Structure 1
């Protein structure tokens, strides 16, 4: 009787069945380079891209796999021809994507795709040889991908994927110019699966619980002025209050206090040494955001409004995309790209301290 009880409990907690756990895929990306500012209109062109990927599928044994249906963790190589060989050239990129089912079943569903990586762009701005490229100031650039696609099972091993998405490359103003390039596209691809074996789904695993309150301390630097580049340091103190809506999803609310000395320089372009002080270099913003939690890693998106925006040198609203990694109960690493409607402001990196209660005496 005792042995029977042990076997019953084991079968109840672990659902075992044979599944494919690995996959190889290929994707074709036809699209266009979209000019989000007047300075980049000469770069507009039809683009083509190709991607090959290796994916981990049926990620049983991970707590988050109980909540993300048909999730895939993919590692990819991306090639893109930007349509202007002498001005923008080509892109070679390595990255990772996280994809999961948002509507449908394992055989036919709609999935969300989120990705990041690093890319090498063959043609960048050069004051003497390539002044027409006012979008990219460095060869190495960060990549962010967002997309939604339909996946259909064609055979036990073969799956069809088709959808729409956008790919963004920029260097976060580490080098000027840095308008970045945004490329909406459709995509069509096939995936073949392999490594067929028995897998066990542990339904007792629980995802990492996020802190209710979070203090952030971030640093960034960026260049300004194409003719005579100058580096500026940026410091940010932030607060986030998190509201869980599922074991792996959270809304958060908060604010930012930022020191950015580029404001007086952008306001008075004729003055090489304007007055820089707290009153003309301090930003204050409030924001709302959302995060997907995948184990200790979180993917972030938020949108904020400036309460204080010196000289109105930036748009009234800002957005962020990025990640946060939890080291332990209290400490986090933070890395995000701050943008203004498609134009990158800067990459910021830092640490965070999380806690669950505010004690008032």
Structure 2
């Protein structure tokens, strides 16, 4: 039997350790360290049709393009706060080959970084939407002497936009069947003409290999950044080049200057309001060709106001702007314009962006932008 003194010592030690454990449980826990992002490798076949979105390409819609895609993606696990805010999306790179089965169009090769957001994720299934953009090489661009029927694209290097709904179903712990429907778009943004672009609605079927299908995901409720609700200012300038007509091979400089005020609305969004000025030198060339001798030419410079939205993924943002011209003496386009683009913050101060400026659904110019956030 133990002595009364020893029993009292044991009781005191137990109470002390119990109290320490209670205080430790009450203390706020540090954010868990995110595990490594597992790899997913996919191989898919694609079957498509060519949309006749304009009369000028109707002679090219008879074929049914087929393609093959190699896909490399990572499942986010919480290393950055935005992973949890977007319910742990996948990020990846798609390498795509297309055969148009038409000697006028030839082949296409594309590389598209993308992000994939799940709508429904279970033990054996994952239904998601993926959005990506990148660069494409078209083997048979328009040539006035040798390939004048290809009105889709007149340059070998093009931009590509891809979106797709995908359903991934587990066959084994590592192997899954993938089925999807989506759209692939190729265009050079009117850098050279003709440039009606091509839209390829597609069905996709293939296999995915999951290194780890259900990895541990940490920090799902990462706190909102400190700048939510704060106002900021952007100043930027851009340049691009465009061809006026198929007959005029010269590339004309297009540049702009933008001043904007913005507000971080929440973890995912910025709203912006701004003013900007444009100088499109191809408009001056058009006036020189069409204005009668001795008549005064209108000013080709334009000024606009816009409202914009930025969808934020860490340092990367997807931009969408709607603008209205408030100064446009030369009426060369619609009174409004849109912009879609990708923006990346190299530092807290400096950013770069690639934007596609659009008039009523038709590409006007691809803009390369640099700026500062103040």
TM-score in terms of structure 1 length: 0.83
Q: Partner of 2:246 in structure 1?
A: 226
Question: Following superposition of structure 1 onto structure 2, how do residues 138-177 of structure 1 map, counting pairs within 5 Å?
Answer: 138-177=155-194
Q: SS where residue 24 of structure 1 aligns?
A: strand
Quote the offset at 1:105 in angstroms: 3.3
Whose strand proportion is higher, 1 or 2?
Answer: 1
Q: Partner of 1:358 in structure 2?
A: none
Structure 1 stretch 181-190 or stretch 329-338: which is displaced more? 181-190
TM-score in terms of structure 2 length: 0.80
CA distance in 1, matches of 2:340, 2:209: 31
CA distance in 2, matches of 1:146, 1:200: 26
- Cα deviation code 1:166-211 (max 9, x no counterpart): 2222223333332222223233343220158975624557659586
Task: Establish whether residue 239 from structure 1 lines up as the match of residue 239 from structure 2.
Answer: no
Quote the offset at 1:78 in angstroms: 0.4
Aligned CA RMSD, in angstroms, stands at 3.4
Task: Establish whether residue 104 from structure 1 lines up as the match of residue 125 from structure 2.
Answer: no
CA distance in 1, matches of 2:132, 2:77: 18
C-alpha contact (below 8 Å) 1:180/1:344 kept by paired residues:
no
Residues 20/227 of structure 1: CA separation in 2 closer, same or farther (3 Å cut): closer
Q: Partner of 1:131 in structure 2?
A: 148
Considering only CA atoms, is the larger Rg found in Structure 1 or Structure 2?
2
- Structure 2 gaps, min length 5: 1-16
Task: Establish whether residue 321 from structure 1 lines up as the match of residue 340 from structure 2.
Answer: yes
Q: Partner of 1:305 in structure 2?
A: 324
CA distance in 1, matches of 2:345, 2:40: 28
CA distance in 2, matches of 1:8, 1:41: 69
CA distance in 1, matches of 2:96, 2:196: 21
CA distance in 1, matches of 2:226, 2:187: 32
How many residue pairs match? The answer is 351
Q: SS where residue 148 of structure 2 aligns?
A: coil
CA distance in 1, matches of 2:350, 2:203: 39
Task: Establish whether residue 340 from structure 1 lines up as the match of residue 359 from structure 2.
Answer: yes
Q: Partner of 1:292 in structure 2?
A: 311
Q: Partner of 2:269 in structure 1?
A: 249
Q: SS where residue 54 of structure 1 aligns?
A: strand
Q: Partner of 1:69 in structure 2?
A: 87
Question: Following superposition of structure 1 onto structure 2, how do residues 174-213 of structure 1 map, counting pairs within 5 Å?
Answer: 174-194=191-211, 199=216, 201-202=218-219, 204=222, 209=227, 212-213=232-233
Quote the offset at 1:89 in angstroms: 1.0
- Cα deviation code 1:279-332 (max 9, x no counterpart): 531223333333221211112233333344454322344322221111222221
CA distance in 1, matches of 2:294, 2:189: 24
Determine which structure has greater relative contact order: mean sequence separation of CA pairs < 8 Å that are 6+ residues apart, divided by chain length: 1
Quote the offset at 1:54 in angstroms: 0.8
- Structure 1 gaps, min length 5: 356-361
Q: SS where residue 221 of structure 1 aligns?
A: strand
Q: SS where residue 153 of structure 2 aligns?
A: coil
- Cα deviation code 1:64-91 (max 9, x no counterpart): 111112311111210112242x211110
C-alpha contact (below 8 Å) 1:267/1:311 kept by paired residues:
no
C-alpha contact (below 8 Å) 1:261/1:276 kept by paired residues:
no
Structure 1 stretch 334-343 or stretch 230-239: which is displaced more? 334-343
Residues 34/200 of structure 1: CA separation in 2 closer, same or farther (3 Å cut): closer
Q: Partner of 1:29 in structure 2?
A: 46
